[in-house]
Amino acid sequence: MDTPGFNVVQWLHTLGLPVDGSTARAVGDAAASATAQLDMPSLLALAAALGWASGFRLYAVVFLVGMMGALGWMPLPPGLAMLQHPAVLLVSGCMLLVEFFADKLPWVDSAWDAVNAFIRVPAGAALAYGVFGADNATLAVVAGLLGGSLSATALATKMTTRAAVNTSPEPFSNWGLSFFEDGLVVAVVWLATQHPVAFGVALVVMVAASVLLLVVLFRFLRAVVRKVMEAEGASKAGAAL
């Protein structure tokens, strides 16, 4: 039996659902047929989406893609078949909930992003690599480099934007931005899996917007830091007098 089909049957057995031989063969044939439908644009779009979205919400990406594969909504490449395993779904689902609430708290979100910066970029590269890893080593390396770069760009944009928003004392802008990122991850995964060409256009726009946003926000944060340092210097000078 092919690898994707075997993973589906194994997943059903793990859930306590027995599968006889004929059903197992049918599931395997369906999985093989579905995986064959993933053409090159679809695979490239999936790899780029996994890398980009991981920079914002790694655990949501792992859970969402794994659940889509487990429910049969989307055929997963063999290199990503482990995402639909119940253990992976359980862990990623729990971490998704933790990240969902941590991301809504001002400054806690920045601390969470700083800790997860060491996880998201390598994970984004690994997920993108997994799209081709079982079939084409060259494309897998290219996808891994692309996924890691996109994940790092998205993470840098997220962290810089959050740092700028956290300078405001009210929490509503932080909540709104966090919910926007939640929706963005779902939209990116959906667009990449359903309309890969349209996703490619959207990805170019998002990367260009990220670069522009990073330049603007970096200048803003540098100005804020300079004002804070000047205020502290003036306060110390007044205290010395």
Q: Which of 80, 57, 55 is nearest to 68 (CA)?
A: 80
Q: Which of 149, 64, 163 is nearest to 113 (CA)?
A: 163
- Note whether 169 and 151 are within 8 A (CB): no
pLDDT for 23 equals 53
pLDDT over threshold 50, residue 4 = no
Q: Which of 93, 152, 142 is nearest to 120 (CA)?
A: 152
pLDDT over threshold 90, residue 135 = no
CA dist., res. 132 & res. 146, Å (int): 12
pLDDT over threshold 70, residue 241 = no
pLDDT for 2 equals 43
CA dist., res. 66 & res. 62, Å (int): 6
pLDDT in tens, 146-169: 999 999 999 888 888 888 887 777
Query: 175 pLDDT band (50/70/90 cuts)?
Result: confident
3-class secondary-structure state, position 172: helix
pLDDT (mean) for 185-202: 91
pLDDT for 64 equals 93
pLDDT in tens, 15-54: 555 555 555 455 455 444 444 456 788 888 999 999 999 9
pLDDT (mean) for 67-76: 87
Query: In sequence order, what are the residues at sequence separation of 6 or more whose Cβ sits closer than 8 angstroms to the Cβ of residue 66?
Result: 83, 84, 85, 88, 89, 92
Residue 172, φ and ψ in degrees, nearest 5: -70, -40
- Report percent pLDDT > 90 for the chain: 37
pLDDT over threshold 50, residue 111 = yes
Query: 144 pLDDT band (50/70/90 cuts)?
Result: very high
The b/e string for 64-83 (b: 16+ C-beta within 10 A; e otherwise) is: bbbbbbbeeebbbbbbbbeb
pLDDT in tens, 214-238: 888 777 666 655 655 655 555 555 5
